[in-house]
């Protein structure tokens, strides 16, 4: 991947990470937000300057011989080497580039403290370090606050940090606790040089180098390379220059530093955006509608609707819900929807969900708004009429038959006809009664189903409007922020993070 492709890919990751912060807002911990903001600021500044240079910062404590090492690597006597008090007070830069001024302005190196290595007489022999910008920083343990502030400001800007330690103070607590232990995860952007190796007996040098490596392992930096050198005798300087030449020769080394910082910041953000958080609250809707239906007394109201013939007013009347009656339901919803959310996200969920009073009012209104067809159905009316006709026909026919039989006023066939009509009328009446009762039961079932369905539909709208929609706004923002943070990770880290979702 070339420098331009590196820059395009990194700017996309910066945009994703910044969007994740915007979506999450104040719902992530302040310390994480500050850390991510700082990483974005550093990345923006570095990308604005391009990624064709590799900034290497020499950082060390008082007396470590850092400035002497700077001079030895650059093969020039430019950095201040203390005599009375070996303390570097000003930042110095040596650039193997004709176009490093904008970068050095960004880092904050004074114009008079810069040198272009190619401008020297032997500049044509330094092409193997083309693109290197070597910085000699103030001592990190200086009593001058401004010196420590410079170190703290510049270290995150460097593509490679070379920690220069000496045989007497390589285990210095201020170095390990104040700097090294906080850099776990960016081992690829660090190098440790044990300087002044000439002050250590030759037979003990391997042991002391191993001890430095062990201390780094304890700090969580076991992969950091340790080199030994002596700026006085020149031992190890060629190896350091060779190592720097290899690093500078790697494609887009600066981009790798930015990528590492972005991945670290994105991991911080994904750590506070748990994958276990649901993306939507829909799974809790059916149970909440059921619970709300029980609260409004839907079974009893449905029975009333089934056995009355009004427009549903009686079934929906009385029994208005109170705020207290829905408190437990609202809390159960928030508990379910907010599972695994961080404190600030949960607060956002609670604040966005209407209070108990509004839920009770809307649920009561949903019940009272249901209307049913008043009066008996067409089937009930039809069978009732058929029953009446059959009963009248049967009674009239039987009475006529009885009169004729008693008075013997008609022929036998007429009597039989009247008897038959009477029997048919009675049967029709009985069938009508049975059918009428069946129609009444069917109407009751239909009214019950219609009323219950309409109430549940209304309660579902209440749950959707007052509970589901506000929850989905928070859960959706959480999911979007996490997705963007994952996109800001390196490809390998993103695959690993997604595999754990």
- Cβ-count burial of 96 within 10 angstroms (0-12 exposed, 13-18 middle, 19+ buried)? buried
In the predicted model, is pLDDT for residue 401 greater than 80?
no
pLDDT of residue 191: 92
Would you state the CATH architecture of domain 53-250? Answer: 3-Layer(aba) Sandwich (3.40)
With cut-offs at 50, 70 and 90, classify the pLDDT of residue 1.
Answer: very low
Statement: the pTM of the whole predicted model exceeds 0.75: no
pLDDT of residue 427: 61
Check: CB of residue 51 under 8 Å from CB of residue 254. yes
* Cα–Cα distance measured from residue 267 to residue 29, given in angstroms and rounded to the nearest whole number: 14
Of residues 370, 360, 374, 373, the one with CA closest to residue 454: 370
pLDDT of residue 84: 37
* Cα–Cα distance measured from residue 94 to residue 108, given in angstroms and rounded to the nearest whole number: 13
How far from the centroid of its chain's Cα atoms is residue 239's Cα? Answer: 45
How far from the centroid of its chain's Cα atoms is residue 90's Cα? Answer: 43
Phi, psi values for residue 359, rounded to 5°: -65, -45
Report CA-CA distances (Å) from 87 to 24, 61, 65: 45, 8, 9
Per residue in 296-307, pLDDT (tens digit) is 999 999 999 888
pLDDT of residue 419: 55
Interior angle at CA 213, CA 208 and CA 216, nearest 5: 130
Mean pLDDT over residues 153-168, rounded?
88
- Computed over every residue of the chain, the mean pLDDT equals 83
Of residues 205, 191, 188, the one with CA closest to residue 243: 191
With cut-offs at 50, 70 and 90, classify the pLDDT of residue 369.
Answer: very high
pLDDT of residue 82: 45
Q: Domain ranges in the chain?
A: 1-51+252-272, 53-250, 282-499
Gyration radius of the chain's alpha carbons: 43
Q: Which CATH number fits domain 1-51+252-272: 3.10.20.30, 3.40.50.720, 1.20.1270.10, 3.40.50.300?
A: 1.20.1270.10
Check: CB of residue 321 under 8 Å from CB of residue 360. yes
For β-strands 54-60 and 132-136, DSSP reports them as parallel
pLDDT of residue 175: 82
In the predicted model, is pLDDT for residue 97 greater than 90?
no
Dihedral angle over CA of 19, 22, 28, 29, nearest 10: 100
- Which one is predicted more confidently, 179 or 129? 129
């Amino acid at each position: 991947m070339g420098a331009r492709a590196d820059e395009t890919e990194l700017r996309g990751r910066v945009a994703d990470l910044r969007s994740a912060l915007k979506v999450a807002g104040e719902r992530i911990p302040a310390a994480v937000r500050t850390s991510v903001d700082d990483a974005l600021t550093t990345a923006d500044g570095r990308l604005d300057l391009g990624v064709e240079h590799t900034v290497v910062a020499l950082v060390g404590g008082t007396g470590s011989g850092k400035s002497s090492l700077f001079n030895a690597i650059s093969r020039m006597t430019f950095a201040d080497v203390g005599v009375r008090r070996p303390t570097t007070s000003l930042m110095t830069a040596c650039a193997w580039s004709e176009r490093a001024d904008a970068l050095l302005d960004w880092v904050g190196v004074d114009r008079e403290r810069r040198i272009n290595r190619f401008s020297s007489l032997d500049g044509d022999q330094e092409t193997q370090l083309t693109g290197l910008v070597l910085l000699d920083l103030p001592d990190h343990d200086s009593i001058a606050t401004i010196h420590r502030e410079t170190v703290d400001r510049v270290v995150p800007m460097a593509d490679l940090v070379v920690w220069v330690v000496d045989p007497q103070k390589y285990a210095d607590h201020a170095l390990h606790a104040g700097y090294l232990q906080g850099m776990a995860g960016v081992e690829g952007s660090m190098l440790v040089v044990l300087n002044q190796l000439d002050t250590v007996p030759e037979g003990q040098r391997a042991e002391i180098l191993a001890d430095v490596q062990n201390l780094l392992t304890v700090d969580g930096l076991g992969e950091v390379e340790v080199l030994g050198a002596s700026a006085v005798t020149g031992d190890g300087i060629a190896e350091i220059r060779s190592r720097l030449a290899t690093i500078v020769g790697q494609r887009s080394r600066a981009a790798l530093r930015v990528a590492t910082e972005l991945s670290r910041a994105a991991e911080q953000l994904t750590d506070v955006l748990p994958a276990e958080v649901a993306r939507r609250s829909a799974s809790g809707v059916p149970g909440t509608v059921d619970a709300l239906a029980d609260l409004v007394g839907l079974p009893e109201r449905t029975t009333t609707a089934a056995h009355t013939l009004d427009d549903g007013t009686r079934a929906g009347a009385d029994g208005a819900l109170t705020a207290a009656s829905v408190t437990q339901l609202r809390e159960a919803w928030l508990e379910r929807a907010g599972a695994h959310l961080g404190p600030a996200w949960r607060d956002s969920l609670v604040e966005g969900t209407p209070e108990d009073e509004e839920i009770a009012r809307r649920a009561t209104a949903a019940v009272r708004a249901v209307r049913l067809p008043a009066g008996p159905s067409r089937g009930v009316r039809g069978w009732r009429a058929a029953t009446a006709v059959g009963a009248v026909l049967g009674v009239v026919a039987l009475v006529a038959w009885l009169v004729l039989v008693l008075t013997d006023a008609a022929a036998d066939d007429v009597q039989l006809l009247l008897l038959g009509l009477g029997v048919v009328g009675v049967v029709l009446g009985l069938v009508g009664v049975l059918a009428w009762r069946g129609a009444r039961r069917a109407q009751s079932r239909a009214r019950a189903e219609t009323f219950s369905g309409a109430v549940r539909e209304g309660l579902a709208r209440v749950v959707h409007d007052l509970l589901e929609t506000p929850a989905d706004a928070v859960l959706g923002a959480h999911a979007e922020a996490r997705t963007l943070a994952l996109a800001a990770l390196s490809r390998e880290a993103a695959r690993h993070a997604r595999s754990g979702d």
